[in-house]
Amino acid sequence: MPQISVLATGGTIASRQDSRGASVASQGVQDLLAGVAGGATEVVSRDIFQLGSYLLDHTHLRHIAEEVALEVARDDVDGVVLTHGTDTMEETAYLLDLVHSSAKPVVLTGAQRPADAADTDGPSNLRDAIAVAAAAEARGTGVSIAFAGQVFAARATRKAHTVAPAPFRTMDGGPMGRVGADDVRFMFRPVRPPALPLPPASFDSTRVDVVSLHPGADASLARAAVDAGAKGVIIAGTGVGNGNHRILEWVEEAVGAGIAVGLSTRVPEGPVVPFYGNGGGADLVGAGALPLGSLPLFHARLLLALLLSHGDTPAPDMLTPYI
């Protein structure tokens, strides 16, 4: 019988109303598992912390990565499930995927409706995630998100709806698998780059900010990010990744000062294409901005933060396998 390790971090799946009526993560992993009928899987479990995922910082992410790596390394564990809030599940899933080198599946899940809601989706999502982690077909698929009966590869999956019961969507793609009443099916398997080392302690303080552009945007926020200690700034450009003359001037200045400037887009789907001049993406890349392909915006932020925390100077060649 496969043995699955379930680790819990909080989120709506673990939330109940407090005395003011606000939903707060307050349930431990044993409470979550109580709602899941025992199947053909043995479960070991542990709480990491109990927090809404809107509260997490890099220290929490590093802590989760270390805890997951410990479970993956256990000979008696065949797969890992991590319960997590959906707000920033995409970031944790992607970080875990970047550092995951085992064939054992790691599956994140959560809920859109709290544990004390009559129609909570937590138990069914947790049951599905355990089934995916235990499935032989899931070996080699890296880190995924199992939610509302679908399985998504971490690489390009984002939360795409605030309240829908099926909020996740893989950008420029679809779910790689489905969970049925008694089977797990994969339609395809992700192409994954070689794993990076776990985040070092310096990851906690490696600041990478995102600055979004709009009509009339200037470089004040990008400058403020660097003043606040950012070692990297991701520009969420318009369209295929465009800026303007004020942003171009700042990119020249920041790249000259050794800041890693990533060029992404505020459009949810599709690649950055450095195509336009006159302050557009071709000029920004010409000034040293790193085009981030079709890697989603907040995934790109984490990738830059991880590379910078390892002491790497991100360059286009180094980024190619990830974007």
Nearer to ligand ASN, 112 or 244 (CB): 112
- Please, which residue, 112 or 206, has the CB nearer to ligand ASN? 112
Q: Which of 9, 83, 86, 92 is catalytic?
A: 86
Residue with tokens 């992607």: 94
Q: Nearest-CA neighbor of 283 among 308, 250, 309, 314? A: 250
CB 19, min distance to ligand ASN, A: 19
Minimum CB distance to ligand ASN, residue 181 (Å): 24
CA angle 94–100–106, rounded 5-degree value = 75
CA-wise closest residue to 235 among 180, 300, 190: 300
To the nearest whole angstrom, how small is the minimum distance from the Cβ of residue 313 to ligand ASN? 33
Active site residue 86: yes
Judged by CB, which is closer to ligand ASN: 81, or 259? 81
Q: Which of 152, 178, 197, 144 has its CA nearest to residue 307?
A: 197
Task: Return the number of the residue (52 or 190) whose C-beta is nearest ligand ASN.
Answer: 52
Amino acid of residue 49: F
Using the minimum distance from each CB to ligand ASN, give the nearer residue, 109 or 265.
109
Helix extents (H) in the chain: 29-34, 58-72, 89-98, 122-134, 220-227, 245-256, 281-286, 297-309, 316-319
Those residues whose C-beta lies under 8 Å from the C-beta of residue 220, and which sit 6 or more positions away, are none
Question: At closest approach, how far in Å is the CB of 166 from ligand ASN?
Answer: 12
- In the complex, residue closest to ligand ASN by CB: 85
Q: Choose the catalytic residue: 12, 141, 157, 265.
A: 12
Residue 54 Cβ, how far from ligand ASN at the closest point, in Å? Answer: 5
Q: Which two tokens stand for residue 269?
A: 């789907």
Q: Radius of gyration over alpha carbons of the chain, in Å?
A: 20
- Taking the complex as a whole, the smallest distance from the CB of residue 97 to ligand ASN amounts, in Å, to 19
Write the DSSP assignment of 279-304 as a string of letters.
Answer: TSHHHHHHTT-EE-TT--HHHHHHHH
Residue 50 CB neighbours (<10 A): 17
Which residues in this chain contact ligand ASN in the complex, by CB under 6 A? 11-12, 52-54, 85-87, 110, 112
Which residue, 33 or 89, has its beta carbon nearer to ligand ASN?
A: 89
DSSP 203: G
Q: Which residues are catalytic?
A: 12, 86
